[in-house]
Structure 1
């Protein structure tokens, strides 16, 4: 696949799919930046986006060159999601405490490195569509095409971040600040929940089990989750889980057995003890279970 095609595909992914998920997961970093530097908001947002473009392009090149060896495992991404959620909540609380009062001007000029560094740090806070673009960069086998795919994704999602920065500048100076803070806290809690789910740290109860076991089971990945959400298989024998992809989205990457799998794919599991095996989408939003009996 040509570099131009991958770049265009990345732009389309950023515009159509990456806008909402990435703005929610990574917007906390931008919120903290805009909230502190009112006088230079446009410049700060521009440098933030420049840092984001640089880091994504560099990581895309690394993925294309080295493949999956440089990708983060699900547990590491889960920690980053929780950290991102906490960051969003901290900045939201600051925004609510200020309320509609005018901001106090900063006595010291902002560091010229802070905005691009925060933008570059967004690569460590994964959003659902980012994982799919990273998989494309890995499969490209070329640092140039991998960088093009990731750079295109940043370009496509840039308008959403620019609009977010503009809205934050206006809202933070009005009586809507408290409402915006509540919404941001909700987004932060959602991000933390996704990280907890991806890391497997929540005591999620398995749904009721019915139907006979099988050595081959089929799961459909849809935009709204995995269907069926619970499948059964026989314990003590190898099992093949056939993941079929119906819609593109977060469920297009599944974390199972401590590794990421890009769908469609067939996952071969060794003999399992009686019990439930939990798997989750790459963003920790949707969960499924395989019950061994």
Structure 2
């Protein structure tokens, strides 16, 4: 009687990547009685042709489940119910919001690595979280099956001898991951990576992480087609070499070339560094993050059971999706796409957080904004369109870290590297709207709101009012009026000042009230212009000085200040009732404390005004 060959279709649960497909397929094809086996990760199915006289369907199911996968029943084939899917998605969104609002990922960028091309602390965490995928790829609680052991390795030598294969396997993975990072980074060094291209690569890496995490959860099976994968011919050669090797270290080395979702996402990330050593360091820290679970979860799961391992896989998959979403958000920001930032959307907080700077004013036609840099956030600010902006950001000691150390404002073509102390950023907002900006990694973000009218809380003076000049009139020398008579015999006072390239000499004078004054100003400036304008705001007068001597006349009624037309230098005339009883020290203090101001142009009349003649 001849044997009976039968083909059976199965739905397999628990596959997380193409390596799971290859693993199941290889095991089935090497089992006596199975004529052929075709496994599809994309479809989550297997087609098995077997000899019923040599092996039963139940035995085939047992082989698959022994590899820590599950053959689904008709009811399970229908997938998760809508309520469970909704619950998982809500958890993912809530966790993402929490991480964004707390700025948790920003704390993972140590300041000493600030000049490197990515958040190394974040890469370690990604490795730690995504290592659940590595465990799943090797079969969960049967992790030890991934590590061949020789009789020499399993006998004698005590406790360390039993851990030696696992140690060598993980050492091999770390070495191969680092080497691949070096090669990929070197490839990236041949390409000029703009901020936009870095954002696109980060976006791609984050997208693949999200897809991989969702596939680990098994909630949208159709997304399996989008998983990144290594070319089939390379994957087959790697598997072939792994099967031939009995060395855990060699198997670990070959795993660096496995078709693994998170690994390929991080390779894309390393590519964006554009530097071989940065790429190597990135992959080294990522690989270190994968070691703890790979080293210990197999033994832990054996003790706590398969159900516990499944919960760890689910929790890890959720975190993979959340980290991927965060990376997508950062990639969008670096690519120039405005992304709503949940970290800045909450109510309350300081004026800086709400976009109303704590110190905002207009000086000399420039919007001056003062902010303080914090380690985990950038301020949102408001400015008026059409007026240049001078943004002064104070960076206290210890506030600069590996993420916030470089700010990118793409719309204005600005990349600013922060230094401890005062940092000045200048730009001219021409159009109204919102401009998003971020740190160089896209993790910390802020917005610049550009309005078409005055900014709320603006402290600048209206256009018809003066603004402080900040100039202190020198009082080291003061001219005292000399009594004399004019050509008609009338009493007159005479004072003389010289205008030099360094200001008025002297810059102050004292005259008696009610007696006409002859004021001689000698313009000895070295500039090649015709002369200098003299502004006297109390008399609303603007006068032109010629090179050399200029005689001006006025009748003193009250003390007043004056300045050059460009407001570079100021002087002061003090009026007293009695020259003999005046207190020269008090006068010096008065002049020294006088608040000089810049007056709008329409304050002054043309030459020949009512002040002087």
Structure 1 residues 4-23: aligned runs within 5 Å: 18-19=120-121, 21-23=122-124
Matches of 1:273 and 1:279, distance apart in 2: 16
Structure 1 residues 103-114: aligned runs within 5 Å: 111=239, 112=242
Structure 1 residues 13-92: aligned runs within 5 Å: 18-19=120-121, 21-26=122-127, 30-37=131-138, 38=143, 39-40=145-146, 42=166, 45-61=170-186, 68=193, 72-92=197-217
Give 1:90 shift: 2.3
Residue 193 to residue 283, structure 1, CA distance change in 2 (3 Å)? farther
Q: Does 1:197 align with 2:325?
A: no
Give 1:168 shift: 4.3
CA contact (8 A) 2:367 2:383 kept: yes
TM-score (norm 2): 0.34
Give 1:32 shift: 3.0
Give the one of 246, 252, 268 matched to 1:124: 268
Q: Does 1:232 align with 2:382?
A: yes
Matches of 2:237 and 2:134, distance apart in 1: 13
Residue 224 to residue 250, structure 1, CA distance change in 2 (3 Å)? same
Give 1:53 shift: 0.8
Which string of whole-angstrom CA distances, capped at 9 and with x for unpartnered residues, describes residues 120-164 of structure 1? 6523247xxx98xx4xxx7xxxxxxx5345434544564332113
Q: Does 1:177 align with 2:309?
A: yes
CA contact (8 A) 1:232 1:290 kept: yes
- Bigger Rg, which one: 2
TM-score (norm 1): 0.62
CA contact (8 A) 1:244 1:263 kept: no
Alignment length, in residue pairs?
249
Give 1:81 shift: 1.4
CA contact (8 A) 1:242 1:266 kept: yes
Q: Which runs of 5+ in 1 are unaligned?
A: 1-8, 95-107, 139-145
Going by fraction, where is strand more abundant, 1 or 2? 2
More off after superposition, 22-31 vs 34-43: 22-31
Aligned to 1:279: 437
Give the one of 139, 148, 151 matched to 2:280: 151
Aligned to 1:5: none
Give 1:167 shift: 4.0
Q: Does 1:249 align with 2:393?
A: no
Which string of whole-angstrom CA distances, capped at 9 and with x for unpartnered residues, describes residues 41-72 of structure 1? 54764554334212322344456666646994
Going by fraction, where is helix more abundant, 1 or 2? 1
Q: Which runs of 5+ in 2 are unaligned?
A: 1-111, 148-165, 220-235, 243-253, 346-352, 452-613
| Structure with more relative contact order (C-alpha pairs < 8 Å, separation 6 or more) | 1
Q: Does 1:223 align with 2:375?
A: yes
- Tell me, what secondary structure is at the counterpart of 2:449? strand
Matches of 1:260 and 1:62, distance apart in 2: 27
Which string of whole-angstrom CA distances, capped at 9 and with x for unpartnered residues, describes residues 209-254 of structure 1? 435466454555543222xx21222312454556666231333344
- Tell me, what secondary structure is at the counterpart of 1:236? coil
Matches of 1:122 and 1:116, distance apart in 2: 13
CA contact (8 A) 1:34 1:45 kept: no
